[in-house]
Amino acid sequence: MKRIFFFLVTNLAIVLALSVTMRLLGVQPYLSASGLDLGNLLIFSFILGFGGAFLSLALSKWSAKRMSGALVINNPTTATETWLLNTVRNQARRVGITMPEVAIFYSTEVNAFATGMTKNRSLVAVSSGLLNSMTYDEAEGVLAHEMSHITNGDMVTMSLIQGVLNTFVLFFSRIISYVVDKLVLNTNGETGAVFFLVRAVSELLLGIAASVVVMWFSRHREFRADAGAAALAGKAKMIAALEKLQTKQLPSVLPKQIAAFGISGRESRGFRRLFSTHPTLDERIERLRGQQA
């Protein structure tokens, strides 16, 4: 219930912010009795598409901590917490960024994630299950993987891609629904139920196509983060971490908004692979082993 509450609050805040933005910018309705205004439709789609993506990014640390229950370590109380802070601090120094906030979320799942609006305002969180299951060397590989996501700017890049695709879906779904409603069915007067039905179906189908693109990039950046981790912590440690994940795989409990940034995520084969956020662990291990030391 807590996750659902924070999800609803976050999305309500985004919708209200975008509504105010469009009002302040004087964006007019894109559909009127005289027809479809493509200029206003494009502005509407751009603000809603990019605005939603980047407001989500701006709120990512806040929402991730609340939806996952992650607690930031300010004053370490155990040897493991001290090691965790020191390891992240050392890695941040080596890659030349401000040290991220470091947090633990309590779950038997062996996982970790990184998020944040910029490289210097980021968060790295690990599960208690990971700390209990992995050696320090294996956990160091995981932390290096998450640090690579941050230094590669994956959160911003994903938001840019999502913004472009959101704009595409919003813009073309409304054009398709207008064409079907007015030109194909020759309806008269104001737009009716057909318009909204076709718009819903168009958004669904175009959204699925957009998801395939987003998931492809998500899988690609996992390979890049693995390679970055191998350079930062050592290839052997990263491979050892992935091999440990193979023996500890459980269904992910991370909220959908941050699951794509976990070290371990949804992986599938066949047609379902198109919608997977992560390559299979076998593929990732094989790719690392094929890299030059």
Instruction: Reply yes or no on whether the pLDDT at 7 is more than 50.
Output: no
In the chain, the amino acid numbered 182 is: K
Determine which helix (DSSP H) or strand (DSSP E) holds 113, and give its type and residue range.
Answer: strand 112-118
Query: Residue 40: its pLDDT value, please?
Result: 84
Could you tell me if 239 and 142 are in contact, meaning their C-beta atoms sit under 8 angstroms apart? no
If one compares 11 and 265, the residue with the highest pLDDT of the two is 265
Q: Across residues 207-224, what is the average pLDDT?
A: 91
Q: In the prediction, which pLDDT does 85 show?
A: 97
Asked if 257 and 64 touch (Cβ cutoff 8 Å), the reply is yes
Q: What is the pLDDT of residues 84-101, one digit of tens each?
A: 999 999 999 999 999 999
The pTM of the full predicted model, rounded to 2 decimals, is: 0.83
What local confidence, expressed as pLDDT, does residue 230 receive? 95
Q: Which residues are catalytic?
A: 146
**Banded model confidence at residue 75, pLDDT cuts 50, 70, 90:** very high
Share of the chain above pLDDT 90, in %: 44
Please state, in angstroms and rounded to a whole number, the distance separating the CA atoms of residues 61 and 118: 10
Evaluate if residue 50 carries a pLDDT over 80. Answer: yes
Confidence of residue 43 (pLDDT cuts 50, 70, 90): confident
Mean pLDDT of the chain: 83
H-run or E-run covering 32: strand 31-32
pLDDT at 35: 74
Which residue did the predictor score with more confidence, 68 or 138? Answer: 138
pLDDT value, residue 172: 92
Per-residue model confidence (pLDDT) at position 139 = 96
pLDDT in tens, 101-127: 999 999 888 999 999 989 999 999 999
Question: How far is 13 from 37, CA to CA, in rounded Å?
Answer: 28
Tell me the DSSP string of 70-85. -EE-SS--SHHHHHHH
pLDDT at 177: 87
Residue 164 has pLDDT above 70, yes or no: yes
- pLDDT at residue 143 greater than cutoff 80: yes
Cα(40)–Cα(3) distance, integer angstroms: 35
Position 3 confidence tier, pLDDT thresholds 50, 70, 90: very low
